Structure 1
């Protein structure tokens, strides 16, 4: 099962370094009023300037807030998410809430450019071009983005102890990250089954285009959901870059950022730099907000992602070969089929899911990764056996009149009350531009309560 790379990681005692990937989390949440309507007010003043604050900002719509954590281990990133979200909730005007679901709060009947985020001219023009191309609703669903990078010690070991094909750090990065990306795209359908959490849309989302006739696992992850502008080639970094740049040159997209695929290769400011400097980290974009959690994602979800990263990197069993584009296209079709399933329905690809989980259990036991990973595997096994235990399965009984309005408001108010009950109040963004370093943010945000490494 283990690949050459996997054996080298074991031989040089770097399994723990591989598992200790740096993770940064981006959480998009919409602001709503107490009736579940999308707020049309400006970004809250107490959150600092959204143009300069790297930790609390906004996205496509003025109402769409975004929390961005530093890249640390998963538990530390979640604590930053927790603390920053509390800061944001505390500076919301009276009556405002953070809507906890991926599908937006109730949109106004008139959905035009007036809802777009107020931005500097260049970015404003970009958002307006997106709006003209896809409309407001396709960019309105919110989600969780997970950014991760492999420890330098692991990459340097592969450079120093591999054959000529991995002779330098750029070659290693551009060999490893596409393989991991392919693994996540191949099994995106399983992540949608487990963590999909957008079974219905609220009022005014589907008004001209018909939506699903019944609750499904994930509107956001289906063809009804978030913008899916075009397909790229994940078989290599060069082909990935060339496909996006060609689409831009041909006018298919307004900018390279318009590629909204489920996985992005990330590096320098210019896309072309990925070829020469290598991929620095991957961005996973296939996770709905988990409305059962204050922080919108579970610790166990992040741990499962971490396990998959190690598995895709260290084993050969699930690596793609041959016509990779065709296989990934088929994986996208499988994901759509799973996204459209009823939340209480067994997955069409249940046997494949169980085969992967069995491989993950063998991998975990062979490397003796510890009880925390076996706990996650047991949880996922239970969810595969019992669809009602998945997040969308838990939401299904909460749906009333094809809406999660009552549930969404209940959760939003509970999370808001919890935030206001905290004793320590951070005011670091109320003056200035919010440009705090990671160390400054850590000191002021946690006040000794949490010691992020």
Structure 2
């Protein structure tokens, strides 16, 4: 019998291990002083949401998205994220940056302004796509915020790993296969991340006004799930009935891209009834199951940086998978930047073990079972009686979580031994502490903090947002960094203006060309 992948990895040396490459994208709503979603346009002092490399918007004009460069250390990445936050907080005036994943007070769809990106065709395309999300699913779902963690391994690792496992493919194909290997195991274990990091057990009553739900009353303006870990990832959050027919279980690159391509080119009758235009204005890119690849909601995505005018599918097919995007992370409302160091280090350990463990293909039956496990933890993860299906057996969620953490211990010791520190064992110990005391998981901490403060979700979220704003404003930015961010904003505005000046193709022609490409 051959050596396991873990055994092969143990034969590496400290000099051969060059660590992880990582970055984060962090979303958050701009909110007025009363805790209501901001109705103001994207601040010009933050530059162009279309072209700024660090500060953009997601669905709504009020939904900021902050993007770090790629780093090889957690500390470097978090320092960068904090710098971007400091600059943003410096330029928000009386508004605050909402600290929780579930939104502030809303007044229906019309209170959520759709993001604007100017008059250049690519900017108009981004706006039309968001109009399409509005007519397909409503705007409420799009007001939710989260953090996306991006991780890759350098080619120096992949070359050695390919030799170790005896693979003869091109490096590009080998890397794509291995990233999908990792993704299959991520699908099997992602429920654990919802238990350890889910932090949205409650929401503002305005979010579910007129909607049937099974939540419990926390206060006059707040509903909550008694054992929920993440309402953001449940039925009231990101969900899509049309996409249920896609059956994407991430076995390999070709089936993944083929399925997405088919979805973008398969008409969906309810969307055909809506139509592409209304009152002479485009309201969706097409009438297919998906307008574009990014409309597909998933807890993880294989990604490749795109070239100008290139679609994500084209980039993946031509150059393979470049990195993994973990998309299921709620904002940490106790952190001024929405994520924390121990969490990121644990994710590195968790994802590396997904790569090093056996990862058979996922059939339809297992795919359904994995979805059930995930949704059960999202909705009832803090229920000690909850059981999950693991290898055909029913196991309590606590036992299943403890078993997964136990299997990470040898890898944590190996990585710490190479690095000469205690980074991964410490991150693992932090997660063990949550299992030892269920009141320490973030979802329980949120409910406890709200109860102790005598506040509902709206009031507590505003209090935490103001506290983080004060912390970051007090820290400030060094003059040279402030000047660099201001220059970035100015250059992004100039770049958008230049794009708009040079763009002379009629938008309907541009859109038709985009659909055909």
**Separation (CA, whole Å) in 2 of partners of 1:391 and 1:335:** 17
How many residue pairs were aligned? 429
**Which of 184, 187, 201 is the matching residue for 2:186?**
184
Alignment of 1:52-131 (within 5 A): 52-72=51-71, 73-93=73-93, 95-109=94-108, 111-112=109-110, 115-119=113-117, 120-131=123-134
Q: 1:16 to 1:416 in 2, by over 3 A?
A: farther
Alignment of 1:6-25 (within 5 A): 6-13=6-13, 17=17, 20-25=19-24
**Separation (CA, whole Å) in 1 of partners of 2:190 and 2:15:** 24
Q: Are positions 1:249 and 2:251 aligned together?
A: no
Structure 2 residue matching 1:112: 3-state secondary structure? helix
**Separation (CA, whole Å) in 1 of partners of 2:400 and 2:16:** 28
RMSD of aligned Cα (Å) = 2.5
Q: Are positions 1:312 and 2:354 aligned together?
A: yes
**Separation (CA, whole Å) in 2 of partners of 1:186 and 1:81:** 30
Single out whichever of 240-249 and 406-415 deviates more from structure 2. Answer: 406-415
Q: What residue in structure 2 maps to residue 167 of structure 1? A: 169
Give CA deviations for 1:304-339 in whole Å, capped at 9, x if unaligned. Answer: 1111122122233xx234x43432332221111111
Give CA deviations for 1:392-450 in whole Å, capped at 9, x if unaligned. Answer: 110112336893122211211111111221253514344564559xxxxxxxxxxxxxx
Displacement after TM superposition at 1:344 (Å): 7.0
Displacement after TM superposition at 1:227 (Å): 3.7
**Separation (CA, whole Å) in 2 of partners of 1:170 and 1:98:** 40
Q: What residue in structure 2 maps to residue 397 of structure 1? A: 448
Q: 1:434 to 1:286 in 2, by over 3 A?
A: farther
Conserved 8 A contact 1:29-1:65: yes
**Separation (CA, whole Å) in 2 of partners of 1:413 and 1:96:** 9
Displacement after TM superposition at 1:301 (Å): 0.5
**Which of 354, 361, 367 is the matching residue for 2:409?**
361
Conserved 8 A contact 1:45-1:430: no
**Separation (CA, whole Å) in 2 of partners of 1:358 and 1:74:** 23
Q: What residue in structure 2 maps to residue 223 of structure 1? A: 235
**Separation (CA, whole Å) in 2 of partners of 1:10 and 1:160:** 14
Conserved 8 A contact 1:346-1:386: no
Q: What residue in structure 1 maps to residue 137 of structure 2? A: 134
**Separation (CA, whole Å) in 2 of partners of 1:157 and 1:77:** 26
Conserved 8 A contact 1:158-1:166: no
Q: What residue in structure 1 maps to residue 333 of structure 2? A: 291
Larger radius of gyration: 2
Displacement after TM superposition at 1:35 (Å): 1.6
Give CA deviations for 1:199-236 in whole Å, capped at 9, x if unaligned. Answer: 11113211232234232211011122124444413011
Q: What residue in structure 1 maps to residue 274 of structure 2? A: none
Q: What residue in structure 1 maps to residue 472 of structure 2? A: 419
Conserved 8 A contact 1:248-1:254: yes
Q: 1:355 to 1:118 in 2, by over 3 A?
A: same
Q: 1:233 to 1:414 in 2, by over 3 A?
A: same
Q: What residue in structure 2 maps to residue 443 of structure 1? A: none
Displacement after TM superposition at 1:161 (Å): 4.8
**Separation (CA, whole Å) in 1 of partners of 2:54 and 2:3:** 38
Conserved 8 A contact 1:263-1:283: yes
Conserved 8 A contact 1:159-1:168: no
Moved over 6 A (4+): none
Structure 2 residue matching 1:282: 3-state secondary structure? strand
Q: 1:391 to 1:87 in 2, by over 3 A?
A: same
Conserved 8 A contact 1:46-1:429: no
**Separation (CA, whole Å) in 1 of partners of 2:3 and 2:263:** 35
**Separation (CA, whole Å) in 1 of partners of 2:414 and 2:475:** 43
Q: 1:402 to 1:334 in 2, by over 3 A?
A: farther
Displacement after TM superposition at 1:167 (Å): 2.7
Single out whichever of 377-386 and 335-344 deviates more from structure 2. Answer: 335-344
